[in-house]
Structure 1
Amino acid sequence: MMKPITAFCIIFIPLLFILSCNNSEKAFVNDNEFTLVEVDTVHIPIDTVTTPYDISISHYTDDRSKIEYLILMNRKNNSLQFYDWATQKLYKTVSLEREGPNGVGGALSFHFQSWDSIYVLASYHYRLSLIDTTAKVKQKYRLLKTDMKLDEGRVSRPQGEYSALPSSNYMNPLIKVGSFIYMTGVPDLNINSLEYYKKGRIGIQLSLENGQIEYYKDYPQMYRDKYFFPPQYITKFSSTYIPNKNKIIYSFPIDENLYELDLKTGNINAIIPDKSQYFKELKPISKKADRDMNTDYLYSVNNVSYERIIYDQYRKVYYRFTNIPNTKKKDEYDNQPYVVHSVVILDENLKKLGETILNERYTVGYHLCLPDGLYLQKYNFSEDEIAFVKFTLKN
């Protein structure tokens, strides 16, 4: 039987920013005891059908060979690409069929458990498929309630009482715990309506045993009270799994609190962590219907907000990223980014150990937490590689 869930979760619209820097510049300005320090860069050559950004990534260490792999999901050609992390060479490509008995649909993201168990998410098909590295589909899961109707021949909203678009990305990975998978859900409702916050359930729990789904919980009360924020503040939420506690932590852009979901009990607690020194309460923007996208964007880059939460199981710390308006930005035509980022470093009790401000030439992109450090994707103008900058935690 599926465990009851009474927790907050998150939704997602892919972000456009990625990590960028000039290697000749000092990478960080540090303001406290614990800091992140740049130590190395890994360069992964890619082919012409792979882009550095329209991907989903994961890292896997083979239990037998101990070889480490970087796994990329190429959304352009619906494939999984396995790179040897040590040599940076392509090891294997798995082409995914879109239709037919082994069709997975248009793949958005994935969870790699083993060579025989890879979960592939096709959001707009409301489908999760279990495959192996021959691309054979072993099981398909429909991510809708049984009473919902969906025309799979075209992109359309399901017909019925309520649904949410299943989603996952680098800020919100697919999380598999036992016989359940947790993912984010974008409510199939008008994002500019109060109904979105009142009725929307923004998490999806899938039982792998019976294929049933449950939607769980709405937005924090502050969103429901002041719902007229730009879409950026509605969609850029983040989650991270804490294996030793069997809990998921959720972070919301305008909320100082974190939300801890206990996967054993289904209960959630609001936790008050030490905050970024730059964070201030946001005032809601006008909810006029004729508000344009440029107004929303300028509002979002001129106010501080939280970006993502990462739990580092190897160093037992949390990294909570903050978006900060860049005071060096003078006008829209200069080459300065609109925002810079700080990283709040928290211990397991969510007490602040330090806060590192990233150089203004850095923005946040794909990340990997590995035994030897935190890796953040680096932006460059070359389409021939994917690069990750390695950071270590120093005190």
Structure 2
Amino acid sequence: MSTQTLVNGDSLIRANYFNIAIDIFSVKERKKIMTYNFKNEGPNRIINFGGSGIVEMKENSFLIGSLLGEIYITYKDSILSKHNLSDLDIFKDREYRLYGINSTKPIKIDDDIFFYRVPEYLQQDKGYYSEKLLVKYNLKNKSLDELNVLYPKEYHSGLWSFAHIHPSFTKNSENKIIFSFPINSHLYEYDIKTDSMVTVDKCVKSKFDNFPLKPLKSTSVDFYEENKYIKGQIRYLSITYDKYKKLYYRMIALPVENDDDLISRDKDFLVSPIVLMVLDSDFNVLAEKKLKGGMFNYKDYFVNEEGFWLSKNNPKNPNFDEDKLSFSLFNLK
């Protein structure tokens, strides 16, 4: 398992889900080439690695932004430098939890790295909807700026499960950052030059979206009730840009289709049907394909020159093998 996968030519660079490690695989050779294991104790350690945002700086060197707001520069399995964002005077009283999974991978543009910042406040707090969700870290002067990306107005209508909170974003060939939020079908275009975000003026609603979305009555629900609620909702999961074909790939989770899946303790990514949507560079919907639940893992995917690869490492899949990585390649015909 992995929280985040980067692509560099033939290499897949994967953040290890279970260990403080980065694994590197060859697509052509279909095997793991190397693993960089980082220490979990002592001064030369990485704290809270799981969910860290990772950027490849150069070969064998990575920038890692952690959930505790620490920026690490590494080379192979060594830490070259560490910068705690709480040391910045203007941010001393704030939390900067930088969260990087496949749908929120940090983006590097020149000397700036754009991170998703997990909100500091609870949804019940007034400050929640004024939280800036995107921050920019400058490599040269080690500064941090909050950017003008907020939750859309639809979030103000109620309380939402944890699964509905995290946005997804991707950079296109014009260096604009395209955002998608789980609770509506809209796409949003953020311009780094003007620090502004506008709604894309196109209908990008899935043809399979026939489900009204309902907020939670309360966030004080147990695992079973929240899990059941999530599996009964539609969610616009992720947006990914294909720089080779100038396409966008979007994944959408649909409500489960039977009561057994709804009331089971299986998490949604194991059983929810998925829609894979393809859009052109102008956000016209070119194709949609519905994939039945229990076959794929929508959290694990990547794009290379061949197209969009989606993981089949789902324990519900009859061909699941925990000792192998297995992906299906999707191409627009």
Q: Is 1:314 aligned to 2:244, yes or no?
A: yes
Of 262, 272, 282, 2:191 maps to 262
Q: Partner of 2:257: helix, strand, or coil?
A: coil
Q: What are the equivalent positions in structure 2 for 1:85-164 lying under 5 Å apart?
A: 85-99=27-41, 102-108=44-50, 109=52, 110-115=54-59, 117-124=61-68, 126-133=69-76, 135-144=77-86, 146-147=88-89, 161-164=93-96
- Describe the SS at the equivalent of 1:164: coil
Is residue 202 of structure 1 aligned with residue 133 of structure 2? yes
What is the identity, as a one-letter code, of the residue corresponding to 1:128?
Answer: I
Structure 1 residues not aligned, in runs of 5+: 1-52, 62-67, 150-159
- Deviation at residue 118 of structure 1 after TM alignment: 1.3
Q: What TM-score comes out, normalization by structure 1 length?
A: 0.73
Aligned equivalents of 1:175, 1:137: Cα separation in 2:
21
Alignment match of 1:369 (pick from 287, 291, 303): 303
Contact 2:183 2:213 in 1 (8 A): no
Q: Which amino acid aligns with 2:181?
A: F
Deviation, 1:213, is 1.0
Figure out how many residues of one structure are paired with residues of the other and give that number. 320
Deviations 1:106-140 (A, max 9, x none): 4334212321531123323x21211222x333332
Q: Please state how far the C-alpha of 1:55 moved relative to its aligned partner.
A: 4.4
In the TM superposition, what whole-angstrom CA distance separates every residue of 1:228-261 from its partner, at most 9, and x where no partner exists? 22222123x211111x201110100112221111
Determine the C-alpha separation between the residues in 2 that align with 1:284 and 1:55: 28
> After alignment, is 293-302 or 174-183 more displaced?
293-302
- Measured on the aligned residues, the alpha-carbon RMSD in Å equals 2.7
Shift of 1:311: 1.1
Any conservation in 1 of the 2:310–2:329 contact (CA below 8 Å)?
A: yes
Q: Check the 8 A contact 2:249/2:308 in 1, yes or no.
A: no
**Mapped contact 1:186–1:202 kept (Cα < 8 A):** yes
Cα distance between partner residues in 2 of 1:230 and 1:378:
26
Aligned letter for 1:255? Answer: N
Select the residue among 118, 129, 146 that pairs with 1:215.
146
- What are the superposed Cα offsets for residues 254-310 of structure 1, whole Å, 9 maximum, x if unpaired? 122211111223222111333101325745435346544433332322222211111
Counterpart code for 2:67: S
Unaligned segments of structure 2, at least 5 residues:
none
In 1, Cα distance between equivalents of 2:302 and 2:180: 18
Change (3 A) 1:180 1:326: same
Partner of 1:186: 118
| Distance in 2 of aligned mates of 1:178 and 1:260 | 19
Q: 1:175 offset after TM fit, Å?
A: 0.8
**Paired residue for 2:208, among 278, 293, 300?**
278
1:296 match: secondary structure: helix
After superposition, the Cα gap between the structure-2 partners of 1:372 and 1:54, relative to the gap in structure 1 and judged at 3 Å, is closer
Going from structure 1 to structure 2, the CA distance change for 1:97 and 1:309 (only over 3 Å counts) comes to: same
Q: Deviations over 1:47-69 (max 9, x none)?
A: xxxxxx244322222xxxxxx22
Letter of the structure 1 residue corresponding to residue 28 of structure 2: A
Work out whether residues 2 and 14 of structure 2, in 8 Å CA contact, stay in contact via their aligned partners in 1.
no
Closer/same/farther in 2, CA of residues 127 and 164 from structure 1, 3 Å limit: closer
Task: Indicate the residue corresponding to 1:28 in structure 2.
Answer: none
1:341 matched to which residue of 2? 274
Larger Rg: 1
Give runs of aligned pairs for residues 289-328 of structure 1, distance below 5 A.
290-328=220-258
| Cα deviation 1:88-117 (Å, max 9, x = unaligned) | 233222222345564333433421232153
Contact 1:279-1:305 at 8 Å conserved across structures = no
Match of 2:174 in 1: 245
Give the whole-Å Cα distance in 1 for the aligned partners of 2:110 and 2:251: 29
Asked whether the 8 Å contact 1:325–1:338 carries over to 2, the reply is: no
The residue that corresponds to 1:14 in the other structure is: none
Name the amino acid aligned to 1:356. K
